Amino acid sequence: MSKLSDFPKDIDLFSLSEGASPLILNFPHSGTIMPPSMAQNLTDLAADLPDTDWHVPRLYGFAEALDVTWVEAKMSRYIIDLNRDPSGATLYPGQNSTGLCPVQAFEGPPIWRVGTAPDSEEIERRTRAYFTPYHRALAAQIERVKARHGFAVLYDCHSIRAAIPRLFEGQLPTLNLGTNSGNSCAADLETSLNTILQKSGFDHVTNGRFKGGWITRHYGQPEQNVQAIQMEIAQHAYMEEQMPWVWKAESAQVLQAALAQVLMAVLAWSPRE
């Protein structure tokens, strides 16, 4: 694995496990590792890493039995956001969001102490050191899977607190499927997943506030036999949404059963001739 240049030499940037199925699970926001040189510059609020996609790899742990490929970031998204456009372009024009190297937490307060936020030179360095090798590895897995099956399905795994007024109004549905408004995956795959969501027992929406981040939009090329979808989950469905981010086992088990149906539908799908 690619090593973190700011960290001890035994720390990996990400973990990767190759599977034989067409499905790739990607976890860009679940990492919590921060190098001491950066952690000392976090504000008190940011030091708790509140915007982490807490427990998402654990939530999808059942999928290891499905022979999926697994790509999981280990570092905090506060270092660099692997799901943002490296050019700095916003994903949602006209709406509050966070950038490639975020300086504001979701709720609005600063992430970095005064005078320590990354400047343009530091952003470029982090892009070279972390963003580029992660996406080089992810792209290689997509090509490997595509070469084996003739197509690949990238499933981007996310979660977020259900109410963040700065980012969206009201309360987020539990399951939020994003297909970049139908552009990142085949129409019949989206239809199949919508059918599963309707039977899941959870409130849900497709292409609502979260239509898919840069990963979904960048890699999703149905015409090139690469399907990409994002699943954003409201965290209250499986955990406590405040420190210490407690996992709720019974609730998680119910949610996992629904997510298993979603992944099985993905695995049952294949491109039409």
At residue 161's C-alpha, the angle toward residues 259 and 176, to 5°, is: 40
pLDDT at 215: 98
Is the predicted pLDDT of residue 140 greater than 50, yes or no?
yes
Whether 4 has a pLDDT exceeding 90, the answer reads no
Structural domains in the chain, CATH included, are: 14-268 (3.40.630.40)
The pLDDT of residue 1 is above 50: no
pLDDT tens sequence across 113-138: 999 999 999 999 999 999 999 999 99
Quick one: pLDDT band at residue 2, thresholds 50, 70, 90? very low
DSSP symbol at 235? G
Q: What is the mean pLDDT of the chain?
A: 94
User: DSSP 3-state helix, strand, coil percentages of the chain (rounded to 5)?
Assistant: 35, 20, 50
Q: Grade residue 97 by pLDDT with cuts at 50, 70 and 90.
A: confident
Q: Which residue has the higher pLDDT, 96 or 26?
A: 26
Return the pLDDT at 272. 78
pLDDT bin (cut points 50, 70, 90) of residue 10 is low
pLDDT value at residue 88:
83
Which of 94 and 189 is assigned the larger pLDDT?
A: 189
Q: Which residues fall within 8 angstroms of residue 25, CB to CB, at 6 or more apart?
A: 60, 63, 68, 69, 70, 71, 155, 157
pLDDT of 223 > 50? The answer is yes
Q: Across residues 181-199, what is the average pLDDT? A: 97
Can you tell me whether residue 192 is helix, strand or coil? helix
Q: Which is nearest to 212 in space by CA: 54, 56, 28, 23?
A: 28
Tens digit of pLDDT for each residue in 151-164? Answer: 999 999 999 999 99
Q: Considering Cα of 100, then 230, then 170, then 244, what sign does the dihedral take? A: negative
Tens digit of pLDDT for each residue in 54-83? Answer: 999 999 999 999 999 999 999 999 999 999
- For the segment 32-46, the average pLDDT, to the nearest whole number, is 94
What pLDDT was estimated at residue 5? 58
Q: Helices 249-268 and 187-198 meet at what angle, rounded to 10? A: 150
Which pLDDT band, with edges at 50, 70 and 90, does 3 fall under?
Answer: very low
